[in-house]
Structure 1
């Protein structure tokens, strides 16, 4: 079995803290860029969950034109209220 080499590393605390601040700024910028876009149209089920109402209530709102709705591929979608 080969011998392992021992390496000592000197850590500059101030440099590590500076790198950490830089990484935090980069992470914050990435969160802004990579933040998912809000969907304009969502399913009745998703809408019901978002607004805390039943699916039948959301469907009734759509029938009464209280919220905008459309059918795509046999599935009812409503305009995202959030």
Structure 2
């Protein structure tokens, strides 16, 4: 997996908002029956570290604009303490 981390600083009119840290992972295995157990194990590991899966963004496959289920962006978030 490829990782990126972003941090959001939040304030609004002097009111402190929840601050989130974001992590974007590139999942290179397909999310099908054969890879499901490995996928669930990965998600559980992130959950133990406080990460919550927000969304999965499928990547465009080739120049024909086909969508590949074998390469997805997984976006996680967790509160910044």
The TM tier, using the shorter chain, reads under 0.3
Q: Which has the higher helix share?
A: 1
- Calculate the TM-score normalised by the size of structure 1: 0.23
- Calculate the TM-score normalised by the size of structure 2: 0.23
Q: Which has the higher strand share?
A: 2
